[in-house]
Amino acid sequence: MSDIKVQLPDGMAVHFPAGVTVRDVIAAWDKSKLKSSVAAQVDGRLVDLSYIVDSDTSIMPISLRSKEGLGILRHSISHVMAQAVQDLFDNVKVTIGPSIEDGFYYDFEYQNTFTPDDLEKIESRMREIIAADHSFSRSSVSREEAVSLFEKKGESYKVELIRDLPEDVEEVTLYSQGGFVDLCRGPHIPSTGMIKAFKLLNVAGAYWRGDEKNAMLQRIYGTGFASEKELKEHMALIEEAKKRDHRRLGKELDLFQINDEAGPGLIIFHPRGALLRTIIEDWEKKEHLKRGYGIVMGPQILKGDLWKKSGHFDQYRENMYYTEVDDQTYGIKPMNCLSHMLIYKSRIRSYRDLPVRYFELGTVHRHEKTGVLHGLLRARQFTQDDAHILCTPDQLNDEISGIIHFINDAMNVFGFTYEVELSTRPAKSIGSDEDWNLATSALQKVLAENQMQYEVNEGDGAFYGPKIDFKLKDALGRKWQCATIQCDFTLPERFDLSYIGPDGEKHRPVMLHRVILGAIERFMGVLIEHYAGAFPLWLSPLQAVVLTVTEKHIPYGQKVLNDLISAEVRAEGDFRNEKLGYKIREGQLQKVPFMLIIGDREVESETVSIRQRNGKKIDSLQVKDFAALVLQMCERHE
């Protein structure tokens, strides 16, 4: 038998007889690695440990704790779950069961519904399968064989999957464990016994192949980890996320309500929530003015014909609200661009005038489907920090670059990191291929120039142009879409926008739509969850609360409060007849940055004793010094 040369991760090249398994190679290299390996990368391709190597190659073991390894583990758990489900229930058809970011799911077709009780039963059956330590074995069969196998089993979804494979695919791979066979590319962990920690989480509906025209399947979500400890940590994270839920904190901190009597998806801001919003909006206005934007304001309703002209009527009709005024149909704006177009058109523009940047805190209404509404994160009325930039094609790069820097600055100020995605032309869209290509490459070019890492989402653009999306990451690592930059070559054309070039001729400007925070409501929701309601001082709608020790300190407390308020510190007083500890507890639960305690000592020395939200004490200060400190910290966005 001939020898082959295997390149190992540490740079060593070792000879093995051809036909050796990946497992044997890893074992020979480092026994301890084998225990923690779920699969391996052979020439850059993920394969099982049982994979047979018969020519020169490089092998890298995939650890259970790596991202890929965890994905393979979870995918294998989903197979075990599918087996358990089929063992326990009749007339269940399997479909697909991939690993996802935090776990895995498997979609089933099943007449009845899975209950929480069922999940427990499935879990215990899974534990039996794991205890039996069945090995995952891979086999390769022809398409026809696979089709007839799954037809015999009545697994029509699997048959459909195989039939839809590209024509040149002649063989498919199957994985089986303990008598359960699934169509699967693999790889998988060596055997079910390797599963040490998993949990089924919930049941949800999901369309077959993600298309709402298809059958509704039942999806069971679960998660799995290398150890119980990591699973517990993950469950604790889920608990923490629940505590931070902005809907819950919104109520607890008295920020806003969403009321059935008013209507779903409509947010009613209470004084503290409205104050938080005002702080954000004031910051926005200042920042935009600093960057050469003009603040504009458009009407809430515009005539139907204008929405036809813009293309919204064709593309966005089912998301819009309408109203009748003097026998004319008006559209309630779902976007802010129309007025901005009219502002541009209000006079002749020279190339010397460009770029123009119109900024509007534009309140829009969109008829979102009932099932998608979600607190502040998905509402039917929301306010965008929206801007439209009209410029010459030459200026496009600089403008996009400027926006990227703006977004970066904003994310820093609010304490977020972010990821970038580029979305290309969707199926339902307007405009010529040429324009789309031009716009898409412009976005790509600027991203490259700014050395930004990004992912591409094919077909995920807006109907009028490609876009760059910024997904910000909160304290729990969850991602939220907020900022977006969208190219639009269409609207300038539909509105016949022009500018006079150096040549004295009319030219068409190009347009950028962009938002920085996105929707203020959504951004607030993300902020609330990110900070768990404990906003940094500069954002906190309530910065200080004055607490009196006893009744006799109220007059001085009142004076302190008045002084703070006139010094523009956002303060309230708690002069109730309660013990100090009780008031402090409440201030703490309300996450107020500073508590100012007023007792005999403070009245005597004309100071306030300061308790910080983080429990640390700082020295007593005179009111004016405390106020100066607060204003200083706000200035620095602390």
Partner RNA sequence: GCCGAUGUAGCUCAGCUGGUAGAGCAACUGAUUCGUAAUCAGUAGGUCCGCGGUUCGAAUCCGCGCAUCGGCUCCA
Q: Which residues inside 110-139 make contact with RNA, applying CB under 7 A?
A: 113, 115
What are the two backbone dihedrals, phi and then psi, of residue 295, each rounded to the nearest 5 degrees? -80, 130
Give yes or no for a cis peptide into 492 (omega within 30° of 0): no
Please say whether the beta carbons of 573 and 543 come within 8 A: no
Task: Write down the residue that tokens 């965890």 correspond to.
Answer: 70
Annotated active-site residue in 184, 337, 482, 634: 337
By CB under 7 A, what part of segment 408-437 binds RNA? 426
**Tokens at 274, concatenated:** 């409205």
Report long-range pairs for 231-234 (Cβ below 8 Å, ≥24 apart).
231/197, 231/198, 231/199, 234/102
By CB under 7 A, what part of segment 588-617 binds RNA? 588-589, 595, 597, 599-602, 609, 611, 615, 617
> Is residue 270 a contact residue for RNA (CB under 7 A)?
no
Per CB under 7 A, which region of 25-33, 72-80, 169-177, 576-584 contacts RNA?
576-584
> Is residue 516 a contact residue for RNA (CB under 7 A)?
no
CB of 246 to RNA, least distance (A): 10
Report long-range pairs for 270-273 (Cβ below 8 Å, ≥24 apart).
271/541, 272/541, 272/542, 273/524, 273/541
CB of 591 to RNA, least distance (A): 9
CB of 581 to RNA, least distance (A): 4
Known catalytic residue at 384: yes
By CB under 7 A, what part of segment 169-208 binds RNA? 202-207
What SS3 state is found at 142?
strand
**Tokens at 37, concatenated:** 């390996």
Known catalytic residue at 366: yes
Annotated active-site residue in 75, 388, 425, 583: 388
- What is the H or E stretch that residue 573 is in? strand 571-574
By CB under 7 A, what part of segment 248-267 binds RNA? 251, 258, 260, 264-265
**Tokens at 211, concatenated:** 């298309």
Per CB under 7 A, which region of 6-14, 60-68, 298-306, 518-526 contacts RNA?
518-526
Please say whether the beta carbons of 134 and 80 come within 8 A: no
Annotated active-site residue in 312, 357, 471, 513: 513
Known catalytic residue at 488: no
Report which of 146, 256, 273, 123 is spatially closest to residue 199, judged by C-alpha positions: 123
Name the residue nearer to RNA (CB basis): 44 or 210.
210
CB of 205 to RNA, least distance (A): 3
Give bridge partners of residue 416 from the DSSP assignment: none
Please say whether the beta carbons of 174 and 182 come within 8 A: yes
> Is residue 462 a contact residue for RNA (CB under 7 A)?
yes
Report which of 205, 223, 213 is spatially closest to residue 95, judged by C-alpha positions: 205
Of 224, 331, 375, 465, the residue at the interface with RNA (CB under 7 A) is 375
Of 366, 388, 425, 530, the residue at the interface with RNA (CB under 7 A) is 366
Known catalytic residue at 118: no
By CB under 7 A, what part of segment 218-247 binds RNA? 218-219, 245, 247
> Is residue 90 a contact residue for RNA (CB under 7 A)?
no
Q: What angle do CA 128, 190, 140 make, to 5 degrees?
A: 110
> Is residue 210 a contact residue for RNA (CB under 7 A)?
yes
CB of 1 to RNA, least distance (A): 49
Number of Cα atoms under 13 Å in the Cβ half of residue 77 = 29
**Tokens at 487, concatenated:** 């190219």
By CB under 7 A, what part of segment 463-492 binds RNA? 469, 481-482, 484
Annotated active-site residue in 86, 384, 395, 543: 384
Name the residue nearer to RNA (CB basis): 37 or 78.
78
Please say whether the beta carbons of 464 and 431 come within 8 A: yes
Enzyme catalytic residues: 337, 366, 384, 386, 388, 467, 513
